[in-house]
Amino acid sequence: MVALIIYNLPEDNIMSAWLLLRDYGMKIPYERYYELALPGFLFFAIGMYAIPTRVFVPEFKKVSKVTLSNERFLIYVTLLGIFIRLINNFLPGGVPFFFSLLGLIGFAGAFALFASNPRKNYMLAIVVILLELLHGFLIGMYHDALVWLIFFVLFYIYVVKPNLSIKLAVSVGMIFFVLFLQAIKFSYRQEVWYGNKSANLSTIKEVSSTTLESGILLGEVNLISTLHRVNQAWIFASTVDNMDNGKNFQGLTNVNKYLEAVILPRFLAPDKIKSGDRGIFNEFSGHIIEEGTAMGLGIFADGYIAYGAWGVYIFGFALGLIFSLTFKIVERWTKVSPFHVLLLLPLLCYTVRPDCELQTTINHLFKGILLYGFLVFLTRKRFTLDSQEN
């Protein structure tokens, strides 16, 4: 949808923001883009629904009942998740990813408590969201916070079922919030990353006030730049253009590198690529990003790099099938306790991001399933009785 808006922007609007957006344009005609993207999404959907599952029809009455009987335990889970998220950045290298996954269970615990009694347990859910937003503001990276905010809004609508006016108000508020983030992030990063300001609430307040007073929030440049920043399709379009010019198709070479990075520990593969590796992006996207910037090619771009148009369709189907298997695994976890359906949220929080690269997607799902499956096994005795009673 965003790509369609970009393709239909008047040329004078694009040129007015050219200095900011010259790198984010669509490098291929819209006919070429959609003849690749639309079948790619279709094959992704076919793969995702290839294995029947009932994981998307959760019985929240059962979840609420299990939550009530394990309320104290889930409060501890939520607080543990909050604590791990707070200390994660201070842990030594190699440890943070494992603890990041473990810390995400705090969201599942808080959301479960909220579902059981929104009036009583709304504060814990708000705390975990606000802490994630604060962390995003402090480091100048907002993707994770936005994903969890969107998850909570959708969960709130599903559980509370507010009227249409509240839904519209929340939707408008989310749009303004995204515009606000886009408006302040450049100034904040300049002050903190490259200037002499500290990453604290005072700097956030100062930059936010200056941004709001300048009136750029709803300015043309901010509106268009937000559209282009959200439009991750420009990476795919640039990759297609670059590969068509060079004809340097890779087969499964890059995929093998991704699998090596996911499966092998670093002591067995010390040279394996890291998440957000700039080398692959710089080589195949047609763009060069500097150190400190992370962008992902995405599943369609990786597919095109491998086998051209057929690669887009094959990779789309394969990713959908991986998602389908993930849903089936989580469905099996719900046999232990219906509460475990909420583990879908930490499993998907990275994989549904539009800027998430294939390696990160596979890595997060693979290690997340191993870790959360182990936690389900450890807690099976606590929840089995509740599941039988329900």
Q: What is the pLDDT of residues 222-255, one digit of tens each?
A: 676 666 666 677 788 888 988 988 888 889 888 8
Check residue 18 and give its pLDDT.
Answer: 42
Which amino acid, one-letter code, is at 181? L
Which whole number is the average pLDDT over 184-209? 78
Which tens digit of pLDDT belongs to each residue from 247-280?
888 898 888 888 888 887 776 777 777 766 677 8
Check residue 184 and give its pLDDT.
Answer: 81
336-348 core/surface letters (b: 16 or more CB in 10 A; e: else): bbbbbbbbbbbbb
Check residue 327 and give its pLDDT.
Answer: 94
Angstrom distance (rounded) from CA 112 to CA 339: 7
pLDDT over 60 at 12, yes or no: no
pLDDT over 50 at 17, yes or no: no
Angstrom distance (rounded) from CA 39 to CA 233: 15
| Integer CA distances (angstroms), 9 to 3, 4, 73, in order | 10, 9, 52
**Nearest residue to 365 via CA among 332, 309, 324, 310:** 324
Check residue 356 and give its pLDDT.
Answer: 73
Check residue 381 and give its pLDDT.
Answer: 74
Tell me if 86 sits within 8 A of 131, measured CB to CB: yes
* Token representation of residue 209: 């006030």
Name the DSSP letter for residue 219. S
CA 140 to chain centre: 16
Query: What's the count of helices (H) and strands (E) in the chain, helices before strands?
Result: 21, 0
* Token representation of residue 59: 């019985």
- The full length of the chain comes to 390
Which whole number is the average pLDDT over 80-97? 74
For residue 138, report the phi and psi dihedrals to the nearest 5 degrees. Answer: -65, -40
pTM, rounded to two decimals: 0.83
Query: Tokens 């996207």 label which residue?
Result: 285
pLDDT over 50 at 14, yes or no: no
Confidence of residue 177 (pLDDT cuts 50, 70, 90): confident
Angstrom distance (rounded) from CA 337 to CA 100: 23
List, in order, residues 6 or more apart from 337 with CB less than 8 Å away.
66, 379, 383, 384, 386, 387
**Nearest residue to 3 via CA among 39, 42, 29, 40:** 29
Which whole number is the average pLDDT over 39-49? 94
Of 83-87, 219-223, 237-241, the one with minimum mean pLDDT is: 219-223
The more confident residue out of 227 and 15 is 227
Check residue 24 and give its pLDDT.
Answer: 63
Q: What percent of the chain has pLDDT over 70?
A: 81
List, in order, residues 6 or more apart from 183 with CB less than 8 Å away.
211, 216, 217, 222
Check residue 278 and give its pLDDT.
Answer: 73
Of 81-85, 212-216, 302-306, 367-371, the one with minimum mean pLDDT is: 212-216
Which tens digit of pLDDT belongs to each residue from 320-351?
999 999 999 999 998 888 888 889 999 998 88
For residue 92, report the phi and psi dihedrals to the nearest 5 degrees. Answer: -65, 160
Check residue 232 and give its pLDDT.
Answer: 75
Which tens digit of pLDDT belongs to each residue from 146-156?
889 999 998 88
pLDDT over 60 at 360, yes or no: yes
Which whole number is the average pLDDT over 307-315? 93
Q: In the predicted model, what is the mean pLDDT of the chain?
A: 80
Rg (CA), the chain: 22
- Tell whether the torsion through CA atoms of 103, 148, 354 and 204 is positive or negative: negative
pLDDT over 80 at 364, yes or no: yes
Angstrom distance (rounded) from CA 163 to CA 265: 50
Of 23-27, 91-95, 171-175, the one with minimum mean pLDDT is: 91-95
Confidence of residue 91 (pLDDT cuts 50, 70, 90): low
Angstrom distance (rounded) from CA 31 to CA 284: 22
Confidence of residue 385 (pLDDT cuts 50, 70, 90): very low
Of 20-29, 76-85, 277-286, 309-318, the one with minimum mean pLDDT is: 20-29
Q: What is the dihedral of CA 92, 258, 354, 329, to 10 degrees?
A: -90
List, in order, residues 6 or more apart from 137 with CB less than 8 Å away.
145, 188, 204
SS3 38: helix
Check residue 193 and give its pLDDT.
Answer: 75
Q: Which of 195-209, 227-241, 311-325, 346-360 has the highest average model confidence (pLDDT)?
A: 311-325
